[in-house]
Amino acid sequence: MVTHAFIAHGYTLYPSPHSAHRTVFEFHVFVPHPYALIDLPSFALQGRARLFAAHRVADGKMGQLVSFELEADRVRFEQRFTPD
């Protein structure tokens, strides 16, 4: 399956081939660690979430963008995530 990059919220986003959805929700967190393993199910989120490889257009930084449907999930992720 060919995935195409797209631009949203100041990032060039590359969807995961494991996710058929390219939805970018209202709440998101940029993780400046492009190779960090992020296991979204382990965070026990209440709403939907999506993970993208990302390129921040403003400064050219590579990383990952985690997009959340709910603000509470964004807060929970920020409190619990530690890069490996």
Asked if pLDDT for residue 84 goes beyond 80, the answer is no
For the segment 54-78, what is each residue's pLDDT rounded down to a tens digit?
999 999 999 999 999 999 999 999 9
Q: Per-residue confidence at 80, pLDDT binned at 50, 70, 90?
A: very high
Q: Euclidean distance between the first and final Cα of the chain, in Å?
A: 29
What is the spatial distance between Cα 50 and Cα 28, in angstroms, rounded to a whole number?
A: 9
Q: Where are the domains of the chain?
A: 11-80
Nearest to 80 by CA among 69, 60, 66: 66
pLDDT above 70 as % of the chain: 92
Q: 60 or 84, which is more confident?
A: 60
Mean pLDDT of the chain: 90
